Structure 1
Amino acid sequence: MGYRVAVVGATGAVGREILKTLAEREFPVDAIAALASPRSAGREVSFGNKVVKVENLETFDFTGWDVALFSPGASVSAKYAPIAAKAGCVVIDNTSQFRMDPDVPLVVPEVNPDALKQIKRNIIANPNCSTIQMVVALKPLHDLFTLKRVVVSTYQAVSGAGKDGMDELFAQTRGSFVNDPPKVEQFQKQIAFNCIPQIDRFMEDGATKEEWKMRVETRKILDPDVEVLATCVRVPVFIGHSEAVVAEFAEPVDLERAREALRGAEGVVLLDQREDGGYVTPIECVGEDASYVSRLRVDPTVPHGLAFWCVSDNLRKGAALNAVQIAETMIALDLLRAHA
């Protein structure tokens, strides 16, 4: 049995990755629609070995379509996701629009698949990319030792800001070799050869919106009693988010038990060799599905603490793959049914 699948925001970096992921994982597609803004209508995108013509989202009728994977920006999702959902199409939304809506499940399939059974509005939210990779790594440790608190510093790739962010890093890097003054448009300061400790806008307490997202999303997905302090930094890397995570637990930690749990956890690859190069860096995770954990060690500054390094492809597991996995999990749970 196949499904009629719409991809909204199909010409963007995440939309193209969704199309690629659907084809690679052989998702049971009977029909595919690639949707975008009117200015992108008529362009062509790839779906496996096929070429699909982009249609205008504003005039598209979602009636008879089974599932729509959205990644067009929050304001567009706010308008069109409810229209698709009302037409009977299950929406899996990659934007921030619905994540903290109490009636919308926020799902990472390796962590909280049962939340899909609580769907009420025909809309499911995909978490923030930096949150996804962290909770995938924390879940097996939480199951063992009961997580209390997380302090995380992120090193986030420019692709988290979309294609325009990647173009700006490329242009600034190239321009530096010919003495062209850098054009700063997508980020608050020059990103080439630099680090910017601001992602999204500042909030009243001094945290940025990205840091707030990591806190509230982790609590919604993993455990409402977990405290999270995040510092989110944009770095001059094209693809692949990195995180330095320090986790404090309620129960005594055992390093070997932690290693064993991570080795057996779905969606996690433990590569932790205490030697030069015995860890994973962002460039090595591009195109891969897992959250890679390295540098695992005991934190001696608290009674029950562990520290580790985590990297993942933010366009893939941080967005496209997680959305496709949600749809796959819904099929496995008999929650996604094809229209007759």
Structure 2
Amino acid sequence: MMPMGGDQIEEAVAYAAKVLRATVGLDWSVKAGGLEWSCLETAEHIACDLVSYAGQLTGRATDGWVPFEIAFDEGSGPDDAIRVIESTGGLLSAVVRTTPPGVRAYHPYPHGSADAVGFAAMGVAEVLLHTYDIAQALGVDAEPPAALCEAVLAWLFPQVQPARTSADQWATLLWATGRGTLPGRPRLDSWRWHNSLAIPAGRVVLREVPPAAAADLAAGGTGGFTWIEGGPFEGTRRAAEMVTKAYASGVHRPEWGMFALVRAADEVAVGGMGFHGPPDEGGVAEVGYDLAVAARGQGYASEALDALSTLALSRPGVTSLLAVIDPENTPSQAVVTRSGYVRISDRENTRAYARRP
């Protein structure tokens, strides 16, 4: 799995400090590339982001930004700015390492919250991209490690087809954030990154599995989750492989892939659930799910499927959800029935169930 956490924050900050220290004798009052801020103001913005992300997590903020900010002392120069970036980066990396699993804090994009991995990825992205903005304005070359760029793309930009080679990772990240061009792709005038969605569902929470975690699950890893005995089951790994292939092909769409079913009480993953892809031209999306043997028969799947279906059917253009089940799988048929699905015409040798708004 492409890691994202305290180590990556520290690596990004060390890279930025090295690049920026080569510019301390230049004029930081000029506008940073593509921004309205000066280079010094852009550095201050980097530090503000790092410390505010740390504050969101430590303050467990759920309904807005913790109301504070930092500012450079009057008369601070480039060297001072770099020291503040290093200090605030250290704060965020420490907080990310010590934040318990399952903790989420307010961030507006796109669902109103992010977990520690999300804040780490956003922090790395802010450091890499705004270091580039400063360096570009000052005429200094800046290209961060390809592995950092690849990880940011996989955690924050699941809708963007990944680069095929390590040499193209930075160019892809620049394109994804409206800072560059790529052959065959239109230049972006606006963009947003994507923090993974979490859907409360009674005793479980559906946690969206981004491509970085899906790749690890497909390869036999844990995807960053703590699994119940016997998990993840084979269907979950197959679903993760589908997400991985869709991402590599550029057709993966956030929120229409895979979710891990995690018990709210102890943060143990008990299964997987999600969609076979985004809705088709008729607005129909197919659902699937899979629980570890030790978690079956306890109602987890019904609670999760009802919550996931309710949310999916509230989205514009979605006309119905489809579940296709083997005739002998009576427990699964009971799950969909309890979740509001009704039987429709069979699909070849399987039974089909649909739920509509």
Q: Same-fold call, TM > 0.5?
A: no
**TM-score, normalization: structure 2?**
0.26
**TM-score, normalization: structure 1?**
0.27
Q: Which has the higher contact order (CA 8 A, sep 6+)?
A: 1
More strand by share: 1
More helix by share: 2
Instruction: Find the structure with the greater CA-based Rg.
Output: 2
